[in-house]
């Protein structure tokens, strides 16, 4: 079966040379195991961190071994009583067209309740990250101003919509005019700032948020965050979710030192990993599914077709080529 291995570790931006396509034998199915056919592959910015040989909250990929990410697969063979042929599962699986897996860590997904890809996005890690980062750390109150960076991406677009449900004024920052238009027309954001064409992002935030920023959901870090910090209000909260602007940096980035701003305004800035909230995932999924059913939230996705295009789809995240969740259909 076709497999994608880590060939080398990237310096700066990942390139196609960092990936290697190979053919591997599919072993015999043993008791307790499942034979899985890959249907949809999630490509995510955090995989960039796993390509480095550094200690993190999740171990690095090994050179010569398959890359893994969350995958939706169809059960095509089963020696496990809990799963049968025709079931769909989601789990952290290898970038292989077909694979044998232990059922541990796999969850059945109901293709009748929602589109399969929703389990990689709004009803998966993406939605949970948005929900818990915003409600547990951001704690937005009615009438407050919420700024979201990476706003037209998978997490950001959900964060903004939850902000609207909770009664906030929501301002999104994203990289194209088309994305800004979608933020307002499809996701109900009040204002949008294109960080690539806006010369003075600080001034643009001041204009969009005349009462200052109460909650800043940070997906990107870097200079965008520097600018939002200049506008943070007293007792502001900053869920630090992602820092994609720095993931390809080879040296530790430097910039303004935020401490005086945080102190002066009693600001809470807290990093988090979605799995911190694992014991509350059922509650989060239930809420997101309810909002989805009631059409209070919606989602978009960029679906790339073909196993051979997985690495390119991943690399395209760093160029902002996706709108909503980036998914590869096999
Ligand atoms: P997205 O769907 O948001 O895709 C990435 C987006 O980032 C691109 O579309 C692009 O949009 C933007 N981007 C790329 N490069 C830059 C840059 N240099 N500066 C600013 N924006 C950039 O991905 P996700 O929604 O999956 O993830 C969003 C963030 O959340 C990531 O940083 C990710 O690591 C983090 N995350 C954290 C989790 C956690 O547990 N803490 C869990 C899941 C995600 P544009 O056109 O606007 O530039």
Residues 199, 255: Cα–Cα separation, whole Å: 18
Q: Locate tokens 């818990």: which residue?
A: 132
* Spacing, Cα 308 to ligand 1 middle (Å): 23
Q: Which of ligand 1's atoms lies nearest the C-alpha of 151?
A: 47
**Does residue 36 sit in the same domain as residue 73?**
yes
Write the burial class of residue 136 (CB in 10 Å: 0-12 exposed, 13-18 middle, 19+ buried).
Answer: middle
* Spacing, Cα 200 to ligand 1 middle (Å): 21
37 in a domain, yes or no?
Answer: yes
User: Pick from 134, 123, 278: which is nearest to 218 by CA?
Assistant: 134
282 in a domain, yes or no?
Answer: no
**Does residue 42 sit in the same domain as residue 181?**
no
Residues 271, 137: Cα–Cα separation, whole Å: 9
Write the burial class of residue 67 (CB in 10 Å: 0-12 exposed, 13-18 middle, 19+ buried).
Answer: buried
Residue 57 pLDDT > 90, yes or no?
A: no
Residue range(s) defining the domain that contains residue 307: 2-121+300-329
Neighbours of 304 (CB within 10 A): 18
Query: Looking at 110-114, 126-130, 233-237, 268-272, which range is the least confident one?
Result: 110-114
Q: Residue 107 — pLDDT band, cuts 50, 70, 90?
A: very high
**Does residue 265 sit in the same domain as residue 148?**
yes
The domain tally of the chain equals 2
Residue located nearest, by CA, to atom 8 of ligand 1: 320
Digit-coded pLDDT (tens) for 132-160: 999 999 999 999 999 999 999 999 999 99
35 in a domain, yes or no?
Answer: yes
Q: Locate tokens 């933020």: which residue?
A: 183
Residue located nearest, by CA, to atom 7 of ligand 1: 150
Residue percentage of the chain with pLDDT more than 70: 100
pTM for the model stands at 0.97
**Does residue 115 sit in the same domain as residue 139?**
no
* Spacing, Cα 247 to ligand 1 middle (Å): 10
* Spacing, Cα 145 to ligand 1 middle (Å): 21
Residue in 12, 13, 14, 45 to alter for ligand 1 test, most ligand atoms within 8 A of Cβ? 45
Handedness of CA 260, 261, 267, 273 (dihedral sign): negative
- Mean per-residue pLDDT for 247-257? 93
Residues with beta carbon inside 6 Å of ligand 1? 44-46, 125-126, 129, 150, 152-156, 174-176, 179, 219-220, 222, 224, 241-245, 272-274, 317-318, 320, 322, 326
* Spacing, Cα 154 to ligand 1 middle (Å): 8
Both tokens of residue 242?
Answer: 């992602």
Residues 299, 217: Cα–Cα separation, whole Å: 18
278: helix, coil or strand? Answer: helix
Residue located nearest, by CA, to atom 33 of ligand 1: 242
Length of the chain counted residue by residue: 330
- Mean per-residue pLDDT for 85-98? 98
**Does residue 78 sit in the same domain as residue 115?**
yes
User: Pick from 208, 182, 210: which is nearest to 193 by CA?
Assistant: 208
User: Pick from 214, 168, 165: which is nearest to 190 by CA?
Assistant: 168
* Spacing, Cα 199 to ligand 1 middle (Å): 21
- If one compares 55 and 205, the residue with the highest pLDDT of the two is 205
User: Pick from 210, 150, 225, 158: which is nearest to 187 by CA?
Assistant: 158
296: helix, coil or strand? Answer: coil
290 in a domain, yes or no?
Answer: no
Residues 36, 295: Cα–Cα separation, whole Å: 33
Alpha helices, H only, 169-321: 177-185, 201-208, 222-229, 259-264, 281-293, 310-316
Digit-coded pLDDT (tens) for 112-128: 999 999 999 999 999 99
- Asked whether the beta carbons of 129 and 241 are under 8 A apart, the reply is yes
**Does residue 130 sit in the same domain as residue 111?**
no
pLDDT in the model for residue 206 = 98
CA dihedral (210, 272, 219, 54) in degrees, to 10, reads: 140
Phi, psi (rounded to 5 degrees) for 145: -105, 125
pLDDT in the model for residue 127 = 98
CATH of the domain at 58: 3.90.180.10
* Spacing, Cα 46 to ligand 1 middle (Å): 9
């Amino acid at each position: 079966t076709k497999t994608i291995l880590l060939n080398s570790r990237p310096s700066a931006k990942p390139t196609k040379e960092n990936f290697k396509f190979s053919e591997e034998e599919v072993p015999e199915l043993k008791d307790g195991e499942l034979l899985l056919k890959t249907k949809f592959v999630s490509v995510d910015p955090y995989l960039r961190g796993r390509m480095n040989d550094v200690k993190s909250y999740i171990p690095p990929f090994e050179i010569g071994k398959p890359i893994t990410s969350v995958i939706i697969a169809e059960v095509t063979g089963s020696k496990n009583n809990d799963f049968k042929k025709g079931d769909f599962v989601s789990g952290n699986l290898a970038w292989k067209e077909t694979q044998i897996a232990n059922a541990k860590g796999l969850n059945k997904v109901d293709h009748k309740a929602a589109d399969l890809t929703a389990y990689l996005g709004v009803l998966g890690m993406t939605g949970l990250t948005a929900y818990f980062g915003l409600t547990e750390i951001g704690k937005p109150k009615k009438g407050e101003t919420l700024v979201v960076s990476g706003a037209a991406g998978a997490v950001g677009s959900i964060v903004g919509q939850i902000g609207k449900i909770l009664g906030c004024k929501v301002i999104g920052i994203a990289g194209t005019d088309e994305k800004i238009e979608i933020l307002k027309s499809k996701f109900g954001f009040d204002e949008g700032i294109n960080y690539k064409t806006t010369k003075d992002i600080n001034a643009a935030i001041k204009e969009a948020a005349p009462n200052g920023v109460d909650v800043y959901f940070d997906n990107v870090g870097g200079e965008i965050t520097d600018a939002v910090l200049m506008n943070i209000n007293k007792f502001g909260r900053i869920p630090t979710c992602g820092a994609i602007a720095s993931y390809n940096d080879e040296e530790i980035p430097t910039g303004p030192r935020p401490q005086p701003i945080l102190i002066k305004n009693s600001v809470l800035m807290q990093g988090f990993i979605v799995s911190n909230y694992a014991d509350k995932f059922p509650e989060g999924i239930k809420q997101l599914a309810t909002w989805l059913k009631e059409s209070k939230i919606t989602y978009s996705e960029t679906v790339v077709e073909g196993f051979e295009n997985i690495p390119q789809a991943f690399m395209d995240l760093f160029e902002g080529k996706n709108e909503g969740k980036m998914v590869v259909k096999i």
